[in-house]
Structure 1
Amino acid sequence: MTLRTAPWGPVSDDGDHRRRDAGPRLLPFHRLGHADPEHRWWKPLVELVVFGAVYLLVTVVFGVVWAVGVMSTRGQDALDDLFADPLALDVMDPAVFFMMFFSIVLMIPAILLARLVMGPRPVGLLLSVTGRLRWAFLARTLAVALTIYVIGYGAVSLFELLVLGELSAPQPVEGFGLILAMVVLVVPLQCAAEELVFRGYLLQTVGRWVRRPVFAVLLPVPLFTFAHFYDVWGLLSVAVMAVVAGWLSWRTGGLEAAIGLHVANNVVVTLLAAVGWADPNATESSWVAAALTVVFDVVYAVLVVRLARKHGVEVTRTVPAPLPPLTGGWGPVPAAPVPPGAWMCPGPPACPGHWAGHGHPSAPQPAPERLP
């Protein structure tokens, strides 16, 4: 049974979900594991095992299907040609591009199945405090991020053209049409998959054990950063984006802002590589690129927080204290107070197994109240 707070309400968390004398708690995104009345500290560890096992299985199946497809279209020696030097793989080869990006997409069904097995429920709590993906907010954040990146990289290109005279004419890679289709269809899913794992699962796992959001935001950053193979400036750029994405997930109550930032970054970078204006295989960066990342991401964070306030995006999930067990007699059980202006779940079938009314759990329920 859950209540959803009025947008941008106060954030609080009374800690132990087993307390019977506490009132409703306002849980921020990183503490949503405590929305589960069956929460236990070890459950995220089992969830990780289930996720790893499922991801390994689906990745092996995908790898076999992909290899068969490549050999059937390019010949029996195609794999030997592609992997003659694994460190020199051409990311802009359509087959390699699909293999690298779609193998990450497979983390989505793996982590969702692990959450379905271990909870908390609904599974959508992995996405936001509302238990679902807030598509309208995602569209707005993506529009903001794309605008910032297009204007930013456009300004850099104009500077190179007017001052340095180094901007070359676009030279689309071979198979540009296939690459473009995958940039539109596969890259956003790849970004969403990474956010589900690093800003969803990991953020909420740390939040199950530690109350302060700073630890939930920062502790997953090294794992995300060193999953990329760049020099120190490139790794710094990745770390900055990870911190901003984690902070926005906590501040806006969901993954939409993080997904929007990640999608804009990867789509713009891969498109630049596809037209020959960036090296897709480069592992070296510069302090200028790192500085641009800081500027882009900080501007994005400021604009998104203002956008969330303007549109009243919910940033906490209100979870009432569990009803105490009946100890004898047939008297009514006191209900936990409801925050003013909150939306109350009306009970089954909307909230299977729980009632949201006053008195005994089987009592008839009042009509739901919506936010004004």
Structure 2
Amino acid sequence: MTTRAAPWRQGPLDDHRTSPGPRLLPYHRLGHADPEHRWWKPLVELLLFGAFYVVLTIIFGIVWAVGLVVVRGEEALDEIFLAGTELDMMDPAIFFMLFFSLVLMIPALLAARAIMGPRPVGLLLSVTGRLRWGFLGRCLLVALVVYAVGHAAAALVEYALLGTLTAPQPVEGFWWLIAMIVLVVPLQCAAEELVFRGYLLQTVGRWLRRPVFAILLPVPLFTFGHLYDAWGLLAVAVMAVVAGYLTWRTGGLEAAIALHVVNNVIATLFGALSLADPDAEESSWVALAISAGMQLLFAWLVVRDAGRRGVEVTRTVHPPRLPVLLAPGPGPGGHPGGGSGRPDHEPAAWVCPGPPACPGHWAERAPGPAPQPLS
């Protein structure tokens, strides 16, 4: 089987044909790039992923707790977990625990995919089987510009209505938080995209061909993993739909990762500057309208850029090349039996394993009628 990525407009999709010809697979159908695809494999992959993630989380939790006690003293764990108060996400230790525990989903999921397939494992990232760094960089730049303009406009509206702007006040441990916002938050976003837009889209796509199901069915799982009110949950759902659409439409996770990274980096940065409360669970329709507007603008710009640059959005998959069995005839050398010493009355069959090398060999006669040409 040979595969390759196909450019932006590569004709109509033909990922459901039963004939032996090549198939064009969009991102959510890449599970069918595996000739050994079975409907139950994503379920086993989920079990393996869960088992690996639990083990990694336990190990990380032990290491984190020991490190906290060494740095802050024996009472640190009691102060955090037994004080009867909510966890302060702007505490650098809590911040690292919450975000890095999600990063562990990356090795857990990649290990499960390496065992169950399809291969290469990079098909989780894009139709090319790898992360397209150039495209990711362009998406990050677009997201930064869109969010910068959006938040600047919101600040101007706030100033026009209230006459004042909130002054930034760095929280305690600000520089530790900045280091983790730069190093850990992007990995946390990538981990969530691998699971919710990578694994789940491709799992639904193994069973259902239409992309709308692959995009929408994982949305509730992502949405209700957040503890917000109705407006906040709607904002998360909009982001999940936009990210799922971009993953399908651009053939990979790069645009969704860029959107998620910029959104979370700015949100946590505002929290570290006391410009927003990262622990807040209440939102408003205004916040929903602003975030949805920025995400839809980002999606439009990215899809437009991807189309202009011919970004690969499907993968061309050719079926495995089968051996060709020909009727009895002269073998190498031009005489019956190919010089093998067989008598002329004993039929033989020429078996060609296919390119790139096709030396062939003489096979024993099978019981039954004489071999016929196969195509």
What's the TM-score bracket when you normalise by the shorter of the two chains?
0.7 to 0.9
Q: Structure 2 counterpart of 1:213, which letter?
A: P
Matched pairs, number: 335
Q: Map 1:62-77 to 2 at 5 A.
A: 62-77=60-75
Contact (CA 8 Å) 1:11, 1:28: kept in 2 or not? no
Describe how 1:70-219 pairs up with structure 2 within 5 A.
70-85=68-83, 88-219=86-217
Q: What do you get for the CA RMSD once the two structures are aligned?
A: 1.7
The residue number in structure 1 matching 2:8 is 7
Partner of 1:244: 242
Flag the structure with more relative contact order, 1 or 2, with Cα contacts below 8 A and sequence separation at least 6: 1
Rate the CA distance shift 1:87–1:42 in 2: closer, same or farther, 3 A.
farther
Which is further off, 36-45 or 305-314?
Answer: 305-314
Aligned to 1:363, which of 348, 356, 359? 356
CA distance in 1, matches of 2:231, 2:85: 20
Displacement of 1:7 in angstroms is: 3.2
* 2:294 equivalent in structure 1: 296
1:289-343 CA distance string (max 9 Å, x none): 1111210111011000011012211000000123245455489xxxxxxxxxxxx
2:316 match: secondary structure: strand
Is the Cα–Cα contact under 8 Å of residues 132 and 254 in structure 2 kept in the other structure? yes
Deviation at 1:65, TM superposition (A): 0.2
C-alpha distance 248-330 of structure 1, shift in aligned 2 (>3 A): farther
Question: Any conservation in 2 of the 1:195–1:255 contact (CA below 8 Å)?
Answer: yes
Judged with a 3 Å threshold, the aligned counterparts in structure 2 of structure 1 residues 148 and 6 are, in CA distance, closer, same or farther, namely: closer
Matches within 5 A, 1:287-366: 287-327=285-325, 329=327, 360-364=353-357
Q: Following the alignment from structure 2 to structure 1, what is the Cα–Cα distance between the partners of residues 113 and 196?
A: 14
Alpha-carbon separation, structure 2, partners of 1:43 and 1:246? 22
Query: Paired residue for 1:25?
Result: 23
Q: Counterpart amino acid of 1:13?
A: D
Q: Which has the greater radius of gyration?
A: 2
Give the TM-score normalised by the residue count of structure 2: 0.86
Q: Percent identity?
A: 64
Cα deviation, 1:137-160, whole Å, max 9, x if unaligned, reads 001001111111111111111221
Aligned match of 1:230 in 225, 228, 236? Answer: 228
Unaligned runs of 5+ in 2: 330-351, 359-375
1:329-367 alpha-carbon deviations (Å, 9 max, x no partner): 489xxxxxxxxxxxxxxxxxxxxxxxxxxx8524349xx
- Amino acid in structure 2 at the alignment position of 1:134: R
8 Å contact 2:34–2:119 — kept in the other structure? yes
1:88 is paired with a residue whose SS is coil
Aligned counterparts of 2:239 and 2:324: Cα–Cα separation in 1? 50
CA distance 1:257–1:305, shift in 2 (3 Å):
same
CA distance in 2, matches of 1:107, 1:328: 51
Cα deviation for residue 29 of structure 1 reads 0.1
Residue type of the alignment partner of 1:361: G
1:200-254 CA deviation, whole Å, 9 max, x = no partner?
0000000000000000000000000000000000000000000000000000000
C-alpha change, 1:93 and 1:201, in structure 2 (3 Å) is same
Indicate whether 1:38 and 2:36 are aligned: yes
Paired residue type of 2:207 = W
Instruction: Work out whether residues 11 and 27 of structure 1, in 8 Å CA contact, stay in contact via their aligned partners in 2.
Output: no
SS in 1 for 2:25: strand
Flag the 1:22–1:71 CA change in 2: closer, same or farther, 3 A.
Answer: same
Query: 2 CA distance for matches of 1:153 and 1:330?
Result: 77
Q: 2:51 aligns with which of 17, 35, 53?
A: 53
Q: Is the 8 A contact 1:134 1:256 kept in 2?
A: yes
1:228–1:330: structure 2 CA closer, same or farther, 3 Å change rule?
farther
TM-fit CA distance, 1:96? 0.2
